[in-house]
Chains A and B, each alone.
Chain A
Amino acid sequence: MGLTSLVLADARFPGGGHVHSGGVEEAVARGLVQDVETLRGFLLGRLRTAGLVAAAFAAAAARLAARGTDARGTDARGTDARGTDTDAWAAQASPAGAWAAQASVAGAWAAQASRAWGALDAEFDARTPSQAQREASRAQGRGTLRAVRAAWPSPVYDELGPRPHHALLVGAVCGIAGEPPEEAARCVAYLAVSGPASAAVRLLGLDPFAVNAVLIHLEPALDAVVETAVHTAAHTAVTEDLPAPGAPVLDLLAQAHVAHRGRLRLFAS
């Protein structure tokens, strides 16, 4: 694991992730999560649904950001060491004059990248039917964006807009920093369970050592999620084929949580 994904997965990273419980607060209020055992089931389900979607999109974002960073770098240096995508675009667009060719390649690449970021954003939205969860994801993305602009400056963020989905942004940062898509997927999959686990400790006064052990026991499931995420991100030609497992009760919990605005709550989601 590189420093970037370690920092992004750290609970002390100043991205505002600590205010979200990932549905645990409402699950506790309804008695669905009561102890370490029920928390284990909740986390496993969350990891294999919302966690898998986030991990696959983070891996796809990491690939896209890395390609964008490469393309920009080679354009600036003016070398021939372009990636396959820019080669393809160069072959398609070849008006007279090398300068014009290069400018048009850069322009075509920019347009293609812009469409690809737009598609990732739209497909992530389509996989997050709960309005409350979309809000939580974008709120975390916005908080994280401020922190990453300072640490990993890149023009790629402009493509993501001011309120990107958290998973897409984390994937983009990993790609910009040169980490492989696997690290982006692992970071996001881990965050899908680590935040809710620590929220449960605070909400239910659970034994922190026992909860930590539950997280460690999720490793095989986490590895499987990361593998699926990386594999699909690498082998799907179109964004619409990325995984889309639903979590109906998680959606219900997220919506119920925002509906209870009057109630005293510790977490924003």
Chain B
Amino acid sequence: MRARALLTVERVGDRSVVRELRSQSPLSLVPRRGTAATLDPAATVHLVGSATTPLGGDDVELAVHVGPAAKLVLTGVAAAVALAGTSSLTLRFTLDEGATLQYLPEPTVVTARADHHTLLRTELHETARVRLREILVGGRAGEQPGRYRGTTRVATGLGSCPVLHQTQEFGDPALQASSAVLAGNRVLGTEVLLWGADGEAATGESWALTPLARRGSLATAVGPDAVSTQRALAQAVAAHPGWAESSSERTLRSLGMSENAVRSTTEETP
């Protein structure tokens, strides 16, 4: 199936509002509604596969535009399972001044007969913030992975200044086994963070967080299964100073403490 989807989010007062939303099968965009959604300054939109997808012949494109100072969280609700045949997914994200986007899809499972291609292009303003997660699983349990090739490009300054450009490949036995590439691991998780201060590099047994050359950081984790890889990736992301700072602010806000309250608490601490 060939599908073109479009999503535009704008800032209105204190809130971010979905201004334009067009999607067609096999990809559905479902905005979160209800009381919780109205209290949240960010708009949340779920990516839902409304048919068996990605499947051979699927060609899906999604363009997302986050307007000045708007906040968007784009999440998946279930793992994408790439099935038999050639399929492609293209995502184009554009972020204006002061905009933020968190792209947090569920893992993509590349099954044995799949030939799945993805392109994730993000162009953002110098003052915008982005968090992009990708988790690739090579085959279902006990299954050899099919073919996968995915390119991620992140550039600031209306796309003129590249920050990260990488192509990951699954399904080539030599690369999969090579201790330079995947070292026999079935799962690869990455998270790009252009989110405040970048700080020092950090590493663990199966993860690393490294500052990129111009701006931002890349968290990488590998593992035998999705659960352990996601856990390792979360450790890498937690080591990012910019992200850690903003998530602790969010926790305090959700506990009902205003920024002033936070400040006075810190000041009172001897």
Contact of B213 among A48, A126, A251 (CB under 8 A): A126
Q: Are A132 and B201 in contact (CB under 8 A)?
A: yes
Query: Quick check: which of B35-43, B73-81, B179-187 contacts chain A, the rest being far away?
Result: B179-187
Q: Are A127 and B183 in contact (CB under 8 A)?
A: no
Residues of chain B within 8 A of A247, CB atoms compared: 180-181
Instruction: Given A41-B174, A123-B165, verify A46-B211 contact (CB < 8 Å).
Output: no
Q: Are B165 and A248 in contact (CB under 8 A)?
A: no
Instruction: Find the A residue at minimum CB distance from B161.
Output: A122
Instruction: Find the B residue at minimum CB distance from A133.
Output: B210
Q: How far is the CB of A40 from chain B (nearest CB, A)?
A: 9
Residues of chain B within 8 A of A23, CB atoms compared: 180
Q: How far is the CB of A49 from chain B (nearest CB, A)?
A: 6
Instruction: Find the B residue at minimum CB distance from A50.
Output: B180
Q: Are B167 and A244 in contact (CB under 8 A)?
A: yes
Contact of A45 among B174, B201, B211, B214 (CB under 8 A): B174
Please report the C-alpha to C-alpha distance between residue A17 and residue B202 in the assembled complex, in whole angstroms.
26
Q: Are A41 and B165 in contact (CB under 8 A)?
A: no
Q: Are A255 and B165 in contact (CB under 8 A)?
A: no
Q: Are A245 and B169 in contact (CB under 8 A)?
A: yes
Please report the C-alpha to C-alpha distance between residue A23 and residue B180 in the assembled complex, in whole angstroms.
8
Q: How far is the CB of B237 from chain A (nearest CB, A)?
A: 15
Residues of chain A within 8 A of B182, CB atoms compared: 248-249
Contact of B210 among A42, A49, A125, A255 (CB under 8 A): A255
Q: Are B175 and A48 in contact (CB under 8 A)?
A: yes
Central interface residue in B161, B174, B202, by most chain A CB within 10 Å = B174
Q: Are B167 and A246 in contact (CB under 8 A)?
A: yes
Question: What string of 1s and 0s marks CB contacts (under 8 Å) between B216-230 and chain A?
Answer: 001010100000000
Contact of B165 among A44, A48, A127, A130 (CB under 8 A): A127
Q: Does B177 contact A (CB under 8 A)?
A: yes
Residues of chain A within 8 A of B180, CB atoms compared: 23, 27, 41-43, 45-46, 49-50, 247, 249-250, 253
Question: What string of 1s and 0s marks CB contacts (under 8 Å) between A31-69 and chain B?
Answer: 011000010011111101110000000000000000000
Q: Does B99 contact A (CB under 8 A)?
A: no
Q: Are A42 and B179 in contact (CB under 8 A)?
A: yes
Instruction: Given A41-B178, A42-B178, A45-B178, verify A130-B210 contact (CB < 8 Å).
Output: yes
Q: Are B206 and A27 in contact (CB under 8 A)?
A: no
Instruction: Find the B residue at minimum CB distance from A45.
Output: B178
Q: How far is the CB of B147 from chain A (nearest CB, A)?
A: 14
Q: Are B163 and A126 in contact (CB under 8 A)?
A: yes
Instruction: Find the A residue at minimum CB distance from B188.
Output: A248
Contact of A131 among B168, B177, B183, B210 (CB under 8 A): B210
Instruction: Find the B residue at minimum CB distance from A49.
Output: B181
Central interface residue in A42, A125, A243, A248, by most chain B CB within 10 Å = A248
Please report the C-alpha to C-alpha distance between residue A42 and residue B210 in the assembled complex, in whole angstroms.
22
7 residue pairs, one from A and one from B, having the closest CB atoms: A45-B178, A125-B213, A45-B180, A32-B179, A126-B162, A255-B208, A45-B181
Task: List 6 A-B residue pairs with CB atoms under 8 Å apart, sorted by A's residue number.
Answer: A125-B162, A125-B213, A126-B213, A128-B213, A243-B167, A252-B222
